[in-house]
Structure 1
Amino acid sequence: MQQGVSIKGLVLCGGYSTRMQQDKSHIAYHGMPQWQYLHKLLCSVVPEVYISCRPDQQEIFAGTAPLITDTVTIGGPAAGLLSAYAAFPDTAWLVLACDLPLISLQSLQLLLSARNTAKAATAFNSPVNHLPEPLIAIWEPRGLEVLQQSVAGGKQCPRKALLQTDIELLENPYATEQFNANTPEEMQEAIKLIN
């Protein structure tokens, strides 16, 4: 296992939330906007946390937290991941997508305790499709390099990049926390589960 690779947190807020019909990062599942809840959660486990956003969102997040604005011209979460990699190429990233209303400290602690810096990433196995969860994961610099090569080859899916390389894949005993809320119906389901 490699030592000395620093880790930062990244909240991915750059999506357009088309299916949700409102910005997922601003839904208040926990009495505050979701981006703020995730930022606070990450701050409890890593020393430095950034918000990843599109250039047109900078004004929304200005002054709230350190920002990494998308610098690559692709869409989707790969833009945020690769922009973070470009800003800090020797850093690992504990990444959370803003559509995870049930995620809590226990899942993050599990990821961090199982982190394998000798592999490209440490990720949970999805309880839905049994594939790696790329947006609740620790991406090591090598994993982000694989994603960069994948995008250069026309494939922008972070999950597919993880499938191309050697990762530490974990079963999460708190698998419910991996629930994604991408539609108004899923948002309502999440609210019921939280309450």
Structure 2
Amino acid sequence: MTINNAAPLKGLVLCGGQSTRMQENKSNIHYHGIPQWRYLADLLASFQLETYLSCRRDQQTDFDHYPRLIPDSVPYGGPSAGLLSASQLQPDTAWLVLACDLPLISRQSLEILLRERDTQLSATAFISPVNELPEPLIAIWEPAGLHALAENVAAGKNCPRKTLLNMNIRLLHNPYAAEQYNANTPEEKAEALKQVTDRSLHP
């Protein structure tokens, strides 16, 4: 495999989770008047990034004929399946990755990631305000980082965050860390909707 640290960058929205705790498909929740997958895809595309959706094979008809789908193509579960399926399809590409459970993320956070991207390292990621660990699903993964993830997953280590912890990466404190809020339960969904409404009333 060729590792190219000056790789072209594309966008990837991870939509393949089971959404068990939310009790509905997180990628289809309307926080901003449109399905969350569409909101995130449009957000990434606004930076002129060719943007793809990662999904399970049984989801392929769920995304309104979106032209760039990457169905899971590896025998693993969780977000690693989406990351590695994208890497398998385009091994010399770097990916700006967003999980579909990020209702508050906006351009201002992504501008920081893009500005601070270090192509000589394996990834560029925010620090979580919850646990001070790297955020693997609001991050830019370089080909070298995805290669390391593939090796770890093949060895039974299926956690993207643990892969980041053991690589040379650029870690960033986000001044808009509230935008890293994850909504994984109905209660967290309600809180996110409240915050979105508050922002629209008090921009």
Equivalent residue in structure 1 for 2:172, among 170, 173, 187: 170
Residue aligning to 1:122: 124
Once residues 190 and 179 of structure 1 are traced to their aligned partners in structure 2, the CA distance between those partners, rounded to angstroms, is 8
Structure 1 stretches of at least 4 aligned residues deviating more than 3 Å after TM superposition: none
CA contact (8 A) 2:5 2:144 kept: no
Q: Offset of 1:65 from its aligned partner?
A: 3.4
Q: TM-score, normalised by structure 1?
A: 0.97
Helix, strand or coil: the match of 1:148? helix
Q: Offset of 1:3 from its aligned partner?
A: 6.8
Helix, strand or coil: the match of 2:33? coil
RMSD value, Cα: 1.1
1:150-175: per-residue Cα shift (whole Å, max 9, x none)?
10110111000101100000000000
| Aligned length, in residue pairs | 194
Helix, strand or coil: the match of 1:133? strand
Q: Offset of 1:4 from its aligned partner?
A: 3.9
Does 2:136 match 1:134? yes
Q: Offset of 1:61 from its aligned partner?
A: 2.3
Residue aligning to 1:160: 162
Residue aligning to 1:21: 23
Helix, strand or coil: the match of 1:60? coil
Letter in 2 for 1:57: Q
1:22-76: per-residue Cα shift (whole Å, max 9, x none)?
0000000000000000000000114300000000001112622310110011110
Letter in 2 for 1:166: N
CA contact (8 A) 1:134 1:162 kept: yes
Once residues 149 and 5 of structure 2 are traced to their aligned partners in structure 1, the CA distance between those partners, rounded to angstroms, is 22
CA contact (8 A) 1:102 1:190 kept: yes
Does 2:36 match 1:38? no
Residue aligning to 1:94: 96
Equivalent residue in structure 1 for 2:71, among 61, 69, 72: 69
Helix, strand or coil: the match of 1:102? coil
Once residues 185 and 70 of structure 1 are traced to their aligned partners in structure 2, the CA distance between those partners, rounded to angstroms, is 29
CA contact (8 A) 2:5 2:142 kept: no
Letter in 2 for 1:60: D
User: Aligned residues: percent identity?
Assistant: 63
CA contact (8 A) 2:5 2:121 kept: no
CA contact (8 A) 1:146 1:161 kept: yes
CA contact (8 A) 1:9 1:46 kept: no
Once residues 146 and 48 of structure 2 are traced to their aligned partners in structure 1, the CA distance between those partners, rounded to angstroms, is 19
| Structure 1, gaps ≥5 residues long | none
Once residues 160 and 167 of structure 1 are traced to their aligned partners in structure 2, the CA distance between those partners, rounded to angstroms, is 12
Letter in 2 for 1:162: L
CA contact (8 A) 2:28 2:36 kept: yes
